[in-house]
Every structure is written in structure tokens, then in C-alpha cells.
Amino acid sequence: MAGPGTSTRHDVGALTHAVENVFRKIIRLLIGRMSLKKLQEMIQIIFVEETEAKLKRESPGKSVALGDIALHTGFDTRTIKKIRTHIAVSDPLYQDSNFLDGFMPLFKVFDVWMNDGRFYDQESGKPRQLKVEGEGATFNILVKSAIQARGLTARAVLKRLEDIGIVRHDAAAGTVVLQQEDNVFISKNDLDLLDVGFTALGNLASTINHNIQSNLNQDARYFQRGSWNYHFDPDRIEEVRAVIHQYLTGVDNQSRELITSLAEPTSREGQLTAGIGMFYFEEG
């Protein structure tokens, strides 16, 4: 026989499944580009900031109690005080050097190699060729200087850097050379695509949040629709993509013309951004 909490547990389980599905897809984009440690740190800060902002909107003019933030975040008040202090004295995350340091373990190795006088030639400004091990400034010492994580060895770092073509390892000579110095872990093209992609994700999330808040007022809801079908032959999917791409290109051109016609001709303070988003998706 189901207990009195069964319905609640089912609702929470459904929400958990939905959030997990979204997070998995976002994390696939972040693997190799951002460490789990930094993602956790970012989420903590943002969760506290957004919780406090929500509570202020609900009670304008009133200060937000630590206990109310604790109730919404699950943090104890000491942790909340610590995060609040960090927010008050720090730059925005994307400008905070302390946050950006160690953003990804391999980023830090690259950063030390390019900026620590032990590992680059100060006259040429170029990274030195390093012995893998031995006396002096070796690759092993570089990794130990850059990364203080247990179980992450210089050998594992070297293999990864070699696999992605960042270094050239001469096993016979026992040396390592940094052979790529620009856009090392995120190429310019990748960075542009990630920026556009995450902007689109953020816009969709804003629309969903607005529609949830406006659930009882249909007239206030933003347009949000999706259409899909489960019966596609994998052998014909390229043909399907081409047809849909052609169709969406035409709709996109119409949307751009419509948005431009509705916008004011000149820029001024206090204006809003509004737009129409479109994308095609597949799932296995």
C-alpha cells in the first residue's frame, strides 16, 4: 500500500529526472573545458545570488534573512555567510582571477608553462623544452606546481596533452615541447559556437521560467512550442536534415525581417532584447 508521501516522492522524482536530463547534456559540453570543482563552485555562488534575488522580489524593501536563504538552498547559515562575503568582495566570476585559476587542470599546466620563469625563456618569451624528469625544471615539476590534486600524475597529464596534439613528446630523448600556444583547449570556432549555444540555452530557460510563473495567465505567456516524431529511419536522416534545414532557413529569414520591423529604429536607454529562437534536434 502506498504511503502518504508517495505522491510527493513521485513529483520530486519526476523533477529530478528532468533536471538530470538537462544537466547531462550541458555537462557533455563542459567535459574537458571546465573542471567539476569549478562548476560546483559556480553553482553554489549563483544559487545563493539567485535565491536572494528571488526573496527580495517577493518582499520588496525588506532585508533577506539568512534562515530564508538556508531554507531554499539547503546550506547552513555559516556557508551562506561565507558565500555572501565572497560575492561582496570579488569580481564577477568571468573576471575573477582566483576563480579562473585552475578552471581546468590542463589549463593551469599550460598557464604555468607560459608564465613561470622556470619553464619559459624570458628573453624569447617562449616556453622551454622540458625534460620529463630529472634535475631542475622538468615536466614532472611543472605538473606538481600547477596541480595539487591527488591521483593526477604527470604521466596522465602528458598522455592527454600528447593525445590532443598540444605537446610533442620525444620518448627517446625524454623531452617535451609545447607546440601550440594559442587557443589551446578551446579553439576560436569552438568558443564562438559555445557562446551562441549557451546563449540559446539561457534564452530558452528564461522563456520556460517566465511561462511557469505565468501559468495562470495565458495571455502573458511567451510562445514556446516543439514538434517531433519518433519514426525516423537512420539511413535517411541526412535527407531529413537537409529538408528541415532548408525549411528553417526560410522561416529564419522571415523571423529576422519581422523582428527588425517591430524594433525601434534607434538605440536608447531602457530598451529590452526580444527574439525568436529555432533549432533542430535528434536523439538516439
pLDDT digits (tens, 9 = 90+) for 142-158: 999 988 777 788 999 99
Order of strands, edge to edge, in the sheet holding 130-131?
A: 130-131, 175-178, 167-170
Query: How confident is the model over 66-94, as a mean pLDDT?
Result: 94
Strand 175-178, strand 167-170: pairing: antiparallel
pLDDT score for 208 = 94
> Which range of residues forms the domain containing residue 138?
105-178
pLDDT score for 5 = 60
Query: How confident is the model over 267-271, as a mean pLDDT?
Result: 94
Distances (CA, A) of 188 to 1, 183, 194, 195: 58, 6, 10, 11
Is 262 within the bounds of a domain?
A: no
Is 23 within the bounds of a domain?
A: no
Cβ atoms of 166 and 184 within 8 Å: the answer is yes
> Within this chain, do residues 111 and 144 fall inside the same structural domain, yes or no?
yes
> Within this chain, do residues 174 and 206 fall inside the same structural domain, yes or no?
no
> Within this chain, do residues 110 and 172 fall inside the same structural domain, yes or no?
yes
> Within this chain, do residues 170 and 210 fall inside the same structural domain, yes or no?
no
Read off the pLDDT band of 69 (50, 70, 90): very high
Phi, psi of 131 (to 5 degrees): -70, 145
pTM above 0.85, yes or no: no
Q: Which helix (H) or strand (E) holds 127?
A: strand 126-127
Q: Which helix (H) or strand (E) holds 130?
A: strand 130-131
Is 61 within the bounds of a domain?
A: yes
| Tally of structural domains, the chain | 3
Q: Is the pLDDT of residue 246 over 90?
A: yes
> Within this chain, do residues 117 and 161 fall inside the same structural domain, yes or no?
yes
Q: H helices then E strands: how many in the chain? A: 10, 5
Last residue of a domain, one of 156, 178, 200: 178
> Within this chain, do residues 92 and 125 fall inside the same structural domain, yes or no?
no
pLDDT in tens, 189-223: 778 888 899 999 999 999 999 999 999 898 999 99
Last residue of a domain, one of 162, 197, 215: 215
Cβ atoms of 207 and 225 within 8 Å: the answer is no
Is 260 within the bounds of a domain?
A: no
> Which 3 state secondary structure label does DSSP give 126?
strand
